[in-house]
Structure 1
Amino acid sequence: MSNYQKFDIVQNGYDTDQVDVEIDRLTARINALIQKILTYQKQIETVSNQFNQIRSRYQQIANELTMREKAVDDVGRMALREANSVIETAQNNADDIVNEAMVKAQELIRETEQYKTEVLEIKRDLKLKMQEYLKTLEKSEMPEEPKLSERMLDFDINL
């Protein structure tokens, strides 16, 4: 079908009834197209509003995400600093404990050596005294043992 309507030619031009019918048809079609355009414009406006709302919400979410990521990074940095501080404190405490243990061990070693020296001196002194006692014992004479009858006299017993 052609886009142009062919009209019958009459005495003074085209058939006016045919032209009027075509004009009415085209007017109706134009009005229908105008209604479609208005409907589409409303749909475009609605979609545009929805798009703007979604874009706004997206921007809000993106901003919140950025803030939360920054907060997570801050917490991570603070946790790392705290962990490093705890590790440093623990290392210092461990070093102090090791140093104190070393000092105590050295004191115990000195005391042990001192006790060992004292024990050796006491042992040497005891040995010397024992040798002196043995010499004294060897030099001394034992008295003769009295006879049994003499002992009995001490008790006034008659035999």
Structure 2
Amino acid sequence: MPLTPLDIHNKEFKRAFRGYDEDEVNEFLDQVIKDYEALIRENKELMQQAQALQEKLDHFANIEESLSKTIIVAQEAADEVKTNSKKEAELIIREAQKNADRIINESLVKSGKVALEIEELKKQAAVYRTRFRTLLEAQLELLNGDSWDVLEGKTGTEE
């Protein structure tokens, strides 16, 4: 058990022949008591400071651990968002490619139909032109024919 200032104060020494000066010893003990009390107070203050610093250190260690966990969770969330975004982008691209292929195929089918219609219209136009030419030629032949002369009162000898 450590020595206390009270123990030093209450310490009694035996008297011996040719001993030390009692007043000098008492003054020295008083000085030792004062110094010892000061050391005890200082030690107590240092212990309190050490405890306060340890509490702060524990607090900051907890904050550091929380921040580390938060950073890990944020990183995982960011990675998950990135992965999901990539998957969604790939899905959108595939869907767009499907739509583009569908539109291209529909356009090819429509252009094929239009080409067929154009060919059919060209054939019909050729047939119409041929018929119209035939009709015009027949009409010209009628106009150039003798039957108009009869209507106009002309005979074949008058010209």
Q: TM-score, normalised by structure 2?
A: 0.76
Aligned partners of 2:85, 2:77: CA distance in 1, in Å? 12
> Please, which of 110, 114, 117 is the counterpart of residue 104 of structure 1?
110
Q: Map 1:68-147 onto structure 2 (within 5 A).
A: 68-142=74-148, 143-145=150-152
Aligned partners of 1:103, 1:140: CA distance in 2, in Å? 56
Runs of 4+ aligned structure 1 residues displaced above 3 Å come to: none
Aligned partners of 2:29, 2:146: CA distance in 1, in Å? 168
Aligned partners of 1:123, 1:99: CA distance in 2, in Å? 35
1:25 paired residue number: 31
Paired residues, number: 136
Q: Once the two structures are aligned, what percentage of the paired residues are identical?
A: 24
**Structure 1: stretches of 5+ with no match in the other structure:** 1-10, 147-159
TM-aligned CA deviation for residue 144 of structure 1: 4.8
**Structure 2: stretches of 5+ with no match in the other structure:** 1-16, 154-159
Aligned partners of 1:89, 1:28: CA distance in 2, in Å? 90
| Deviations 1:16-71 (CA, angstroms, capped at 9, x unpaired) | 32122112101210121011111111111121112112211221121122112211
Taking CA–CA contacts closer than 8 Å with sequence separation of 6 or more, which of the two structures ends up with the larger relative contact order? 2
TM-aligned CA deviation for residue 13 of structure 1: 4.3
Tell me the secondary structure at the aligned position of residue 12 of structure 1: coil
